[in-house]
Structure 1
């Protein structure tokens, strides 16, 4: 499916406000509500819109420690990589997992209550994975920008 400038405007608007009414969205993109609704459904069906979520303030729910962890695996064969990835996707504290190039194999973004909780997470969860050889932690001191909106152009 190719998307046109109207679809891009829909995606751009929904990234700003996923709860916007179809009527308000139609006004913004300058077409009537029925074709607006059809376009949104088509974008959902074709995977352009993965899901709608609420962005929760982590501090208000007691999550104050964010870290990035570079993970180096013991082995780099397909089976070891697949086992590691299967384990990681099931861990709630792992917000992001990226297979990367460079000195490490994976980059994880981890969210925990605080540093002691993070320490226990490392000891009990990450180092318990048999595929893990080495971890390097980068602790987030402050966040200057955190954007969820993808630039569509």
Structure 2
């Protein structure tokens, strides 16, 4: 892997800071500085610049879903009845406000959107399906996939 800066302005130290923060965002600045081989002041300045320039989109805790009663993971493929900017915008607005939907992605292929949803159990999903999913604007078809095993989830970005 080249140690030259990316065109985005990240150098080797920036990339190392980002990699370390992906593993543990709670790391103390002094420990992070030692890990990437710069002074604590330089490390702090660089980390602040990475935040300000939005190379870091957020810092948050990753909650264990089963621990908060949301152990069922469901992937839902959605096909809209029309492929217009207005129908996409309306769908996205409504889905954006649904707390059960963790991810919503416009995709190419058999579906228009792929949703990642967490519920307590199959019964909880059945209620969500009957009350909200089938009433989403412009939906022609919904295909549901219950996840049997999460093999890899929210892996760090490789760069």
Tell me which interval the TM-score lies in, with the shorter structure as reference length: over 0.9
Q: Does the residue aligned with 1:148 lie in a helix, a strand or coil?
A: coil
Corresponding residue of 2:136: 129
1:59 alignment counterpart? 66
Which is bigger in relative contact order (C-alpha 8 A, separation at least 6)? 1
Q: Give the Cα–Cα distance (whole angstroms) in 1 for the partners of residues 60 and 92 of structure 2.
A: 24
Tell me how many residue pairs correspond in the alignment.
152
Regions of 4+ moved over 3 Å:
none
Q: Please name the residue that 2:145 is paired with.
A: 138
Q: What is the CA RMSD across the aligned residues, in angstroms? A: 0.9
User: Which consecutive residues of structure 2, in runs of 5 or more, have no partner in the other structure?
Assistant: 1-7
TM-score w.r.t. length of structure 2: 0.93
TM-score w.r.t. the length of structure 1 is 0.96
- Following TM superposition, by how much is the alpha carbon of 1:137 offset from its aligned partner in structure 2, in angstroms? 0.4
| Whole-angstrom CA distance in 1 between matches of 2:137 and 2:27 | 46
2: distance between equivalents of 1:23 and 1:5?
18
> Which consecutive residues of structure 1, in runs of 5 or more, have no partner in the other structure?
none
